Structure 1
């Protein structure tokens, strides 16, 4: 089934809507506040902005970043709704416990946070590892998710996913344990630059240097790099969980954004295997870091989908 024509119409409307709302975005972005909450047995740090009766939005980051990545988006969504962007278990200023790095449990963390804030039904988006957590959230609490956006990675256990997981240049998925951790400790920025540089279509348009320093410092915190490696170690359990989730397809609207020079069509195809109402968009010229490499395409599409 072709989604080309409706997607073109929808994307054109998205650009107009985002442009029309641009005047009010900056003041809201300035009002982003930092909070912490203890939920599901862990302390979760999160950013929050906005107010109003429109459906709240939850934004989930991936590996090599934290909630800070969403600041260019938060202000464009928070004009009439609450927007939160948590640091996932193991990342940023959230706790780094000894376990619970399967995405099913991490989604339960986010759900407990949403419940504690009395947000009710939400729209949710995730990039990289965050998309796995977003899917696990929607699969576990489908009646509490109005729409979902998946950005640039893959869903373990869905379709022919091992073609991604077992690629030789994705060695980091299997790089965890005592020796890898010793090799990376004190060299966190060098380690992370593999992701920021090699997964970008053009490393000069990837993560800005100031953000690289910010994220490297965050991953240099005690247990932070270990926890990030545990996210990868958990993929085999995630695959079992997601294969089970996929037996009951989602029905809420799903937007899949995938970089032309990275995941391409693969994640869109996976989306169709887990949801009956999917819009897929290839972000032209972009690698993995959609918000940084192609903000002019990614942000209008994302904001229109989550904020319409």
Structure 2
């Protein structure tokens, strides 16, 4: 879809504004946004963000779909369990939420950490996922995953515990600027100032940085679990969108190791923040795929 058509597309929106809701599921009080009616779609956010990141996509999908965008455990307005923060358990939270809403089958989309949760969801409940879309990051434990571009930040995957928490406290914005700026193709086209303030305030709440760090502490266990999941390849259609200046072709190659029906697209001139850096390209692709 061309740029002009896209803006015509968003300009004629009559989509319902999402409602903020809470549910007690899997031992966690989960916050989620919900909008629309019809074929269900579940949207899973990544690190440094929350369900808030999906608002532009919800506006389009909710015309034809029931859209559910939860804050994962430990993020946004959801509860802060001590653990675990494996992507399998986080997926079980989301599945319990879906079940509580009467959703028996859904299409699942995930970005960054959310794509790992999306894969864990599909691997654990393959009969309940009709399509899956993964947006820029990687799958721990799949293929040559330790060579992924983002692992130039290997220090961060071990950045948890008492000292890192003390170093970041009160400096959350400085810490997140590294991701928002350095993982973008052009930092001036990355997250907006308003969103940066919004996410900084969310993560500065007591306990939220610890929860975020625990997501990375769990990578070793995630890798073991994903290596087992991939022995039974998925068969539902999978769309993989990556940033040319971020994970590039790597996630697409990984996806083909875990699913038999993969369409991969590298978004030119984009970094990791696809929803923000390439809005006019990414949203129409997702809407079309999820139809």
Please report the TM-score for the alignment, with normalisation by the length of structure 1.
0.91
Counterpart contact for 1:63–1:129, Cα < 8 Å: yes
Counterpart contact for 2:45–2:114, Cα < 8 Å: yes
In structure 2, what is the equivalent of residue 215 of structure 1?
199
Q: Matched residues in 2 for 1:36 and 1:170: separation? A: 35
- Aligned residues: CA RMSD: 1.7
In structure 2, what is the equivalent of residue 28 of structure 1?
15
In structure 2, what is the equivalent of residue 68 of structure 1?
52
Match for 1:292 among 276, 288, 291? Answer: 276
Change (3 A) 1:164 1:78: same
Q: 1:95 Cα deviation (Å)?
A: 0.5
Over residues 233-260 of structure 1, what are the superposed CA-to-partner deviations in whole Å (9 max), with x where a residue is unaligned? 0000000000000000000000000000
In structure 2, what is the equivalent of residue 37 of structure 1?
23
Which stretch shifts more, 236-245 or 172-181? 172-181
Q: 1:21 Cα deviation (Å)?
A: 5.2
Over residues 53-94 of structure 1, what are the superposed CA-to-partner deviations in whole Å (9 max), with x where a residue is unaligned? xx2000000000000000000011111221010000010000
SS of the residue aligned with 1:106? helix
In structure 1, what is the equivalent of residue 98 of structure 2?
114
Match for 2:127 among 126, 143, 146? Answer: 143
Over residues 187-228 of structure 1, what are the superposed CA-to-partner deviations in whole Å (9 max), with x where a residue is unaligned? 111111110011001000001000000000000011100100
In structure 1, what is the equivalent of residue 37 of structure 2?
51
SS of the residue aligned with 1:100? coil
Match for 2:78 among 78, 90, 94? Answer: 94
Number of aligned residue pairs = 291
In structure 2, what is the equivalent of residue 127 of structure 1?
111
Over residues 9-35 of structure 1, what are the superposed CA-to-partner deviations in whole Å (9 max), with x where a residue is unaligned? xxx5x989967754552x325x21000
Moved over 4 A (4+): 14-21
Counterpart contact for 2:60–2:287, Cα < 8 Å: yes
Change (3 A) 1:274 1:235: same
SS of the residue aligned with 2:287? helix
1:268 correspondence with 2:255: no
Q: Matched residues in 2 for 1:202 and 1:17: separation? A: 25
Structure 2 residues not aligned, in runs of 5+: none
Q: Matched residues in 2 for 1:147 and 1:132: separation? A: 15
Please report the TM-score for the alignment, with normalisation by the length of structure 2.
0.96
SS of the residue aligned with 1:28? coil
Which stretch shifts more, 291-300 or 273-282? 291-300
Q: 1:266 Cα deviation (Å)?
A: 0.1
Counterpart contact for 1:17–1:304, Cα < 8 Å: no
Q: Matched residues in 2 for 1:50 and 1:116: separation? A: 17
SS of the residue aligned with 1:83? strand
